[in-house]
């Protein structure tokens, strides 16, 4: 499969709202939502750097890290 994998688990309602906004802004594809709410994504571009999402999240909410847990998965 192409692209990098990353997963986010919202810790609260604000975390879910931030991820909704991220899905609208970023070049990512939602692949799976786990029972605990963790959302697993695949970055569409093969050469995409998953760290670029940090800046997108910062623009949405500078305190996103207190609302979302990040799981970065090597491709």
As a CATH number, domain 5-73 is: 3.30.70
Record the pTM.
0.82
pLDDT digits (tens, 9 = 90+) for 16-35: 999 999 988 877 778 899 99
Q: What integer best gives the mean pLDDT of the chain?
A: 84
* Nearest Cα to Cα of residue 48 among 32, 67, 72: 72
Q: Where are the domains of the chain?
A: 5-73
* H helix intervals, 1-75: 13-25, 52-60
């Amino acid at each position: 499969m192409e692209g990098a994998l990353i997963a986010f688990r919202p810790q609260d309602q604000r975390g879910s709202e931030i991820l909704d906004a991220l899905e609208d802004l970023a070049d990512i594809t939602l692949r799976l939502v786990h029972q605990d709410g963790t959302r697993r994504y695949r970055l569409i571009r093969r050469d995409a750097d998953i760290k670029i999402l940090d800046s997108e999240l910062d623009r949405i909410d500078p305190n996103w890290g207190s609302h979302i847990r990040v799981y970065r998965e090597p491709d």
